Amino acid sequence: MKKPLEEAKWLSRSVMAARGEAGGVIKDERRISESDQGTYHYTIGRYAEPVLRVNPGTRIVVETKDAFEGKIETERHMPSELIEMPFTNPQNGPILVDGARKGDVLAVYIESIRPRGPQPRGTTCFLPEFGLLVGTDYTATLNEPLPETVRKVRVDEDGIGWSERITLPYTPFIGTIGVAPEIDSISSLWPGKHGGNMDLPDVSEGNVIYLPVRADDGYLYLGDCHATQGDGEICGVAIEMAAEVTLVVDLIRDWPIQWPRVESKDWIMSVGSVRPLEDAVRIAYRDLIYWMAEQYGFDQLEAYMLLTQCGRVRVGNVVDPNYTVGASIPRHYLA
Amino acid sequence: MKKPLEEAKWLSRSVMAARGEAGGVIKDERRISESDQGTYHYTIGRYAEPVLRVNPGTRIVVETKDAFEGKIETERHMPSELIEMPFTNPQNGPILVDGARKGDVLAVYIESIRPRGPQPRGTTCFLPEFGLLVGTDYTATLNEPLPETVRKVRVDEDGIGWSERITLPYTPFIGTIGVAPEIDSISSLWPGKHGGNMDLPDVSEGNVIYLPVRADDGYLYLGDCHATQGDGEICGVAIEMAAEVTLVVDLIRDWPIQWPRVESKDWIMSVGSVRPLEDAVRIAYRDLIYWMAEQYGFDQLEAYMLLTQCGRVRVGNVVDPNYTVGASIPRHYLA
Amino acid sequence: MKKPLEEAKWLSRSVMAARGEAGGVIKDERRISESDQGTYHYTIGRYAEPVLRVNPGTRIVVETKDAFEGKIETERHMPSELIEMPFTNPQNGPILVDGARKGDVLAVYIESIRPRGPQPRGTTCFLPEFGLLVGTDYTATLNEPLPETVRKVRVDEDGIGWSERITLPYTPFIGTIGVAPEIDSISSLWPGKHGGNMDLPDVSEGNVIYLPVRADDGYLYLGDCHATQGDGEICGVAIEMAAEVTLVVDLIRDWPIQWPRVESKDWIMSVGSVRPLEDAVRIAYRDLIYWMAEQYGFDQLEAYMLLTQCGRVRVGNVVDPNYTVGASIPRHYLA
Amino acid sequence: MKKPLEEAKWLSRSVMAARGEAGGVIKDERRISESDQGTYHYTIGRYAEPVLRVNPGTRIVVETKDAFEGKIETERHMPSELIEMPFTNPQNGPILVDGARKGDVLAVYIESIRPRGPQPRGTTCFLPEFGLLVGTDYTATLNEPLPETVRKVRVDEDGIGWSERITLPYTPFIGTIGVAPEIDSISSLWPGKHGGNMDLPDVSEGNVIYLPVRADDGYLYLGDCHATQGDGEICGVAIEMAAEVTLVVDLIRDWPIQWPRVESKDWIMSVGSVRPLEDAVRIAYRDLIYWMAEQYGFDQLEAYMLLTQCGRVRVGNVVDPNYTVGASIPRHYLA
């Protein structure tokens, strides 16, 4: 459900509107089609050729590919034969944001995420040694892997055809969105301080994600849209799809955040990504406390005690190299 | 908001109604007042004197104490001076359920949880070396502890007076409920396969919790009601209160579940408790898969793939000796 | 290799000699044969009938059974058919130590551990869903378990006959030794503050283990001797054997330790047991810092910095419900 | 203690000698002085300018800097004022190895590690929010950090002057050594499949480390020598020193290992780096099983059972972004 920036009234209360260089106004429109993008990227850093350079206040329409780059076209395709690591989870970008400097923050408002490509265009599957309920590369076991299995499903904006009996809701979000580290380049499969492969369902239409800039011009990447996903993305593969994503990018100066943050109409959220999962919860909640203190005047310990009573935890993924958690508080406690 | 068993129409679809000895009908009513209870218990096992013996199909009204046994009456009281470990988190019980045998399951429907005692009757606090965002007994650090702090709040069924500006909703639940292990006796501070100190907000009015019987007669204990709680109970202390809890207890024969399960009008949930947190998620989701397979005819791997798209995770606590997670699926996918 | 207390000269520097009620002198000798023991125990608490009451300064010879209670006699025996949980890991005891009170410490010097019973008397095996490199009850997976497998080996004090080519050294230790919690009763499969199933190879001949008393008279249990074991006990089953263990028990008044400690001729060690493994390392190292500060005059932060340069970590087990780690420092840094 | 390759007789049994392109013979000698290096690197990838290109069979003498790039000259220097993240842990390199291709392995034999620079040239310190026994960036807490503290010590090949009373042994090793990922670039503070900041004391004189090549020419980096270190490097900073390191680099074709491996005269070791620590143990032991199967003819499950009895675990670090563990087996079991 498209949520144009102009109609999102709550945005006036956002950091993006209050402190963004463009103040929540769209001054330019750009597009990155598949052919504009040409080469998709599998690592998030400042070593790739930019695909686009924009000013703060630009609406950008981006054609993303699915996490398998569209190679899994039927249920007879075996991912392990088609995918060679590390060339999975292709990203659009990098998009350079003029003037972004270390210590600044990119604000990205998500207007819409539309499925694209031929049906059945949704893909999920079991990959060998990947997922929460199997032995993996890291949680190394000697058990036999599960059988590789592919499932292709129809995806439309009014629903996902899981089976004759079950239709899943279309609740799309951006699985991977991030900015370049200062000197490293991070696999598009990893989430972290830079954002990346968070697989967090709250990075969705109508919300703003904030990403801490580390390299000049920010170097924004995105891809890996999901038509829907359960908490934790447990088999490791949501309903993956190619999408047309519409974003508005703005720039906030001198906001020294350490981890991604998200704002919606109803809540504010801090995001942590690390293993084990309790440390991701720690990161997210502590950052939320810092945010409540810095912007809403809470004493830190008062915020800690209050969140004990009303904080909410979203488990994004428990399958990627880092696990991702969002901790949030409803806005009505902040007023 | 009282939810009498007779009015809970969804219960007809529950395991409790379908397989309970009493079939969801109340045949007897009993009460455990504070004076009936006399001695409260700090360990859950079969070594304590029973306070009550009931048949399946009994409504029981129980007067629980708060986790500090009511000792923290003002904000000047220091918990560390009043509480001597392990004598905290007092439990009512044990309640013996006639005929319960290893391999059976106690079904407990929660009709109501009402606050009781003099105002301000809600208590939260910072305890030394306890909580998610401090060094603890297990996550041992050399940092100085936070200052011990107590907060007393008014609690009524229409809200919790956090501050002049903030009223928290009254969303009560039972923090600790469990049955005796076969031969061990487990601290009332621990959650585990036997239930116990799960601090899971879904153990609330209108829902059924299932607890796997290990010792003859089950030995049901409960206590530790919370007026409300955020996900994770991060400082370690929710809004603790004394309560009048109304339960209906039934018995299900030969249901070899390994971990607690919960049913509500809208979903079914499996519960796992262990460290690290990802293992609690693993336990909960795997048990949910088992449940979907055994009762609803899903192939296990099909259930795994479907939950990847629509499963929900509740983080109960990330502070107790084991962390507790509930994994759930909406009922409409199960029909 | 028997190490009689009288010949262990280093003991004069131990806490046992310096502060023990019996001051390192043997005043009495007792024996617990299999028939004396009669019923072995699977839970460590103060609810079982004592098998023996001793004064500090008593040498006790104990006939322990192996972790499977001797039921796995051949390689054709399937553990899952012979063992019904929780009736595994049988313990001798409880041995009451006269005068032991909460806040005191039992000191147990291990003189010898001798294999007993008919050959091949060593047993190791793969149990379903148990071990580091398989999905387990807690690290729950959907993979197929490994095949159940039993291996029986000859065990003598001069070696263990693993195969024609490989002889393993006989380096025996006590896998499980602990005291009763104050009010709980803990499965003999669990390690924790009370000691228990630590599976720590340093609990061996010639060393002293210290166990913090919680219940009056201490209630000492032991069993589960291993002929040898690798770090982590990764498949979950060392070379299990029945043994004749000779101990000397002493009592130290008012030593408020929280976790087990071990002394050898060459080092002092603190022991932590919890999940995840890094928290066990945290507990062990922090306790070792506390010990260095309290007994050897180190500033805590100085000890922290020094251990960074010379501390040693032993990984006991990474398979039991809690993982066990010992952190140690050579004595020559303490003088 | 210098261990020239020519005198290391055990090497004839190593993979390096058996399969190396240069077969354990030195054909060339090169040097990278501080001025040759010029710019040191803080990220390990293929995006930096090579400092040297060598053929397999080259001895290289490298002047490494300490982890703080020599900026902490006295105990009055505050690291937080001198170090700006991510510019810490400077690395020499990249050294390109001619002909190295993805699927090959770099073999690096360490001949000697000598301290260099003006005395006191050893540095350890407490950094804010870094270390095992404090709240950190990931294990986020609200406690006050420990005081920043610097300790400078004299380092010579015959000992480290910790205090008047305590001399620590000089047991030097390379804290950080690794090769470029295929497309990413990884902070020099991280250990992983590529090697990197493992802080593993077994990467020492007389041993060989094997690193799996991912990028053409390998791109070898190294630095961060430690004069000595305890298991876990618990405060996060060993005795850091500038060093003159002498290596011999060889190339092994088509050896598809996934993680670093180490060989010494007495044992073979696999290395895993990840959080939580038990997963690092899993990785290391599983890889060791794979190695025993592929090279020494063990059945995998036989190796698993044998390692349960005789495997050894070294905890390298429990403080870096990933924790590092080495699992080893003595050579005499492999013959």
CA distance D9 to chain A (A): 35
Q: How many CB pairs below 8 Å do chains B and D form together?
A: 36
Cross-chain Cβ contact B276/A281 below 8 Å: no
Q: What's the pLDDT at B330?
A: 98
| pLDDT tens-place string over residues D66-82 | 999 999 999 999 999 99
| pLDDT tens-place string over residues C129-160 | 999 999 999 999 999 999 999 999 999 999 99
| pTM for this entry | 0.98
Cross-chain Cβ contact B134/D146 below 8 Å: no
| pLDDT tens-place string over residues D41-59 | 999 999 999 999 999 999 9
Q: Are A137 and D193 in contact (CB under 8 A)?
A: no
**What order of strands is seen across the sheet that includes strand B208-212?**
B28-32, B58-64, B243-252, B105-115, B208-212, B261-263, B267-274, B323-330, B312-317
Question: Would you state the torsion angle of the CA atoms of residues B205, B208, B210, B216, taken in this order, to the nearest 10 degrees?
Answer: 80
**Nearest-CA residue of chain C relative to D283?**
C133
Q: Are C192 and C272 in contact (CB under 8 A)?
A: no
Give C-chain residues touching A274 at CB under 8 angstroms: none
Sign of CA pseudo-dihedral B218, B219, B225, B229: negative
Instruction: Report d(CA C229, CA C316) in Å as an integer.
Output: 9
Q: Is the pLDDT of residue B174 over 90?
A: yes
Say yes or no: D299 contacts chain C, CB-CB below 8 A.
Answer: no
**Chains contacting chain C through 3 or more C-beta pairs under 8 A:** A, B, D
Instruction: Report d(CA A283, CA C78) in Å as an integer.
Output: 46
In this complex, the residue of A232, A237, A281 whose CB is nearest that of residue B311 is A232
Residue type, A122: G
Cross-chain Cβ contact A140/D187 below 8 Å: no
Per-residue pLDDT band at B278 (split at 50, 70, 90): very high
* Mutation target vs C (from B39, B41, B42, B138; most C CBs, 10 A cutoff): B138
B243 backbone dihedrals φ, ψ, rounded to 5°: -145, 160
Say yes or no: D35 contacts chain B, CB-CB below 8 A.
Answer: no
Q: Are D324 and D317 in contact (CB under 8 A)?
A: yes
- Integer angstrom CA distances of residue C175 from A153, B180, C168, C226: 53, 27, 18, 6
Cross-chain Cβ contact A47/D185 below 8 Å: yes
| pLDDT tens-place string over residues B198-223 | 999 999 999 999 999 999 999 999 99
Give C-chain residues touching A276 at CB under 8 angstroms: 276
Cross-chain Cβ contact C309/D149 below 8 Å: no
CA distance B28 to chain C (A): 33
**Chains contacting chain B through 3 or more C-beta pairs under 8 A:** A, C, D
Instruction: Report d(CA C91, CA A175) in Å as an integer.
Output: 52
Instruction: Report d(CA B265, CA B245) in Å as an integer.
Output: 20
Could you give the 3-state DSSP secondary structure of residue B301?
A: helix
* Mutation target vs B (from C142, C287, C318; most B CBs, 10 A cutoff): C142
In this complex, the residue of B140, B141, B276 whose CB is nearest that of residue D143 is B141
| pLDDT tens-place string over residues B105-159 | 999 999 999 999 999 999 999 999 999 999 999 999 999 999 999 999 999 999 9
User: In the predicted model, what is the mean pLDDT of chain A?
Assistant: 97
Q: Is the pLDDT of residue B283 over 80?
A: yes
Residue from A237, D308, A129, A281 nearest B139 by CA: A281
Cross-chain Cβ contact A184/D182 below 8 Å: no
Sign of CA pseudo-dihedral B128, B130, B134, B138: positive
* Mutation target vs D (from C231, C285, C300; most D CBs, 10 A cutoff): C231
Say yes or no: D299 contacts chain A, CB-CB below 8 A.
Answer: no
- Cα three-residue angle C196-C201-C204, rounded to 5 degrees: 90
Give B-chain residues touching C138 at CB under 8 angstroms: 274, 279, 282-283
**Nearest-CA residue of chain A relative to D276?**
A276
Give residues 177 to 216 of D whose Cβ lies within 8 Å of C: none
Residue from B292, B310, B324 nearest B201 by CA: B324
Q: Is the pLDDT of residue D273 over 90?
A: yes
* Mutation target vs D (from A84, A89, A142; most D CBs, 10 A cutoff): A142
Give B-chain residues touching C185 at CB under 8 angstroms: 43, 45, 47, 183-185
Say yes or no: B307 contacts chain A, CB-CB below 8 A.
Answer: yes
Q: What's the pLDDT at D261?
A: 98
Give D-chain residues touching B135 at CB under 8 angstroms: 133-135, 141, 143
CA distance B105 to chain D (A): 34
| pLDDT tens-place string over residues A237-294 | 999 999 999 999 999 999 999 999 999 999 999 999 999 999 999 999 999 999 999 9
Tokens of A223: 């891809």
CA distance A323 to chain B (A): 9
When pLDDT is averaged across residues B51-80 and rounded to a whole number, the result is 96
Give D-chain residues touching A276 at CB under 8 angstroms: 275-276
User: In the predicted model, what is the mean pLDDT of chain D?
Assistant: 97
ipTM: 0.98
Q: Which DSSP symbol is given to A193?
A: T
| pLDDT tens-place string over residues A93-143 | 999 999 999 999 999 999 999 999 999 999 999 999 999 999 999 999 999
When pLDDT is averaged across residues D263-291 and rounded to a whole number, the result is 98
Say yes or no: D147 contacts chain B, CB-CB below 8 A.
Answer: no
Instruction: Report d(CA C230, CA C219) in Å as an integer.
Output: 29
Q: Are A94 and A32 in contact (CB under 8 A)?
A: no
Q: Is the pLDDT of residue A24 over 80?
A: no
Q: Which DSSP symbol is given to B326?
A: E
Cross-chain Cβ contact A304/D142 below 8 Å: yes
Say yes or no: D306 contacts chain C, CB-CB below 8 A.
Answer: yes
Say yes or no: A256 contacts chain D, CB-CB below 8 A.
Answer: no
Q: What's the pLDDT at B69?
A: 96
In this complex, the residue of A184, A275, A282 whose CB is nearest that of residue D275 is A275
**Nearest-CA residue of chain C relative to A140?**
C133
How many Cβ atoms from other residues are within 10 Å of residue A81's Cβ? 9
Cross-chain Cβ contact A183/D43 below 8 Å: yes
Q: What's the pLDDT at B335?
A: 81
Q: What's the pLDDT at A335?
A: 81
Say yes or no: B140 contacts chain D, CB-CB below 8 A.
Answer: yes
Q: Is the pLDDT of residue D1 over 80?
A: no
User: In the predicted model, what is the mean pLDDT of chain C?
Assistant: 97
Tokens of B157: 């069924």
Could you give the 3-state DSSP secondary structure of residue D167?
A: strand
Q: What's the pLDDT at C251?
A: 98
Tokens 């330790």 locate to C257
When pLDDT is averaged across residues B50-61 and rounded to a whole number, the result is 98
Q: Is the pLDDT of residue C24 over 90?
A: no
Tokens of C129: 């869903």
Facing residues of D325 across strands? Answer: D272, D315
Question: Parallel, antiparallel, or unpaired for β D173-179 and D167-168?
Answer: unpaired
When pLDDT is averaged across residues D145-171 and rounded to a whole number, the result is 97
Q: Is the pLDDT of residue A76 over 90?
A: yes
Cross-chain Cβ contact C142/A133 below 8 Å: yes
Say yes or no: A167 contacts chain D, CB-CB below 8 A.
Answer: no
Q: In percent, how much of chain B has pLDDT > 70? A: 100
Q: In percent, how much of chain A has pLDDT > 70? A: 100
Facing residues of A167 across strands? Answer: A161
Q: Is the pLDDT of residue D24 over 80?
A: no
Question: How many alpha carbons lie under 13 Å from residue B81 in its C-beta half-sphere?
Answer: 9
CA distance A206 to chain B (A): 21
